[in-house]
Amino acid sequence: MLKKLFPFIKNASLRWYVALSLLLVLMMAMELFGLHIFATTEARLGDVYLRHHAPEYKVDPDIVVVDIDDASMLTMQRVVGLWSWKRETHGFLLEGLREFEPRAIVFDISFRERDLAFPKSDAFLSGQIKDFAHTYMQTLELEPAVSNEQVLLSSVADAFAVGQPGKADAKAPLQLPLAIERDAWRLGLVNLLEDGDGIVRRYRLYSDVQGWRLPSLPTRVIQDLGGKIPTGSDFQILWPQQGHKRYAYADLFLKLTEERSGLSPAAVAELDLRFRNKIIVIGSSAAGLYDHHLIPLGPRYPGVDMLAVAIDNLKNFRSISKVPPYWTFAMGLTLIALLALAFRKRLNPVLTGSLLSVASLLAVYAADQLITHHLMLSVASPLIFAWTWFLLAAIAGYLRERRTRDRTVSLFGRFLNPEVVRKIVDHGETVESLSGQTRQVTVLFSDIRGFTTLSESKPPDEVVKLLNRYFERQVEVVWRHGGTLDKFIGDCIMAFWGAPLDDPLHARRAVAASMEMQANLIAFREELITEGSDLVDFDVGIGVHTGTAVVGFIGAKRKLDYTAIGDTVNLASRVEGLTKGVARVLVTRDTMLACADSDFDFTLRGAFAVKGRAAEVDLYEPQQRKLI
213 and 287 share a domain? yes
441 and 555 share a domain? yes
Closest CA to 550 of 516, 500, 485, 624: 500
Does 502 have pLDDT greater than 60? yes
126 and 221 share a domain? yes
Comparing 304 with 421, which gets the higher pLDDT?
304
Q: Which of 269, 300, 317 is the last residue of a domain?
A: 317
DSSP state of 320: B
DSSP state of 142: P
Domain membership flag for residue 155: no
252 and 343 share a domain? no
Comparing 481 with 407, which gets the higher pLDDT?
481
Q: What angle do CA 173, 178, 180 make, to 5 degrees?
A: 140
327 and 304 share a domain? no
196 and 263 share a domain? yes
135 and 266 share a domain? yes
Closest CA to 458 of 538, 536, 539, 535: 535
Half-sphere exposure of 63 (CA within 13 A, CB side): 24
Q: Which structural domain, as residue segments, surrounds residue 8?
A: 2-48+322-402
Report the CATH number at residue 467: 3.30.70.1230
302 and 183 share a domain? yes
DSSP state of 595: T
Domain membership flag for residue 154: no
Domain membership flag for residue 25: yes
* pLDDT per position as a tens digit, 44-70: 999 999 999 999 999 999 999 999 999
The total number of structural domains in the chain stands at 3
Q: Which of 301, 317, 333 is the last residue of a domain?
A: 317
Cβ neighbors of 303 (< 8 A, separation 6 or more) are 108, 190, 192, 283, 284, 291, 292, 293
* pLDDT per position as a tens digit, 332-373: 999 999 998 888 888 888 899 999 999 999 999 999 999 999
480 and 594 share a domain? yes
Domain membership flag for residue 161: no
* pLDDT per position as a tens digit, 258-275: 888 888 999 999 999 999
* pLDDT per position as a tens digit, 153-171: 999 999 999 978 889 889 9
Domain membership flag for residue 360: yes
Q: What angle do CA 312, 243, 222 make, to 5 degrees?
A: 15
Domain membership flag for residue 340: yes
What's the rounded Cα separation, in Å, for the pair 407 and 399? 12
Question: What pLDDT is attached to residue 213?
Answer: 92
Domain membership flag for residue 573: yes
26 and 97 share a domain? no
Strands (E), 391-538: 437-449, 484-489, 492-497
Q: For the CA atoms of the chain, what is the radius of gyration?
A: 47
367 and 277 share a domain? no
**Full-model pTM:** 0.68
380 and 514 share a domain? no
- Any idea how long the chain is? 628
Q: Which of 286, 317, 348 is the last residue of a domain?
A: 317
What's the rounded Cα separation, in Å, for the pair 219 and 300? 24
Domain membership flag for residue 603: yes
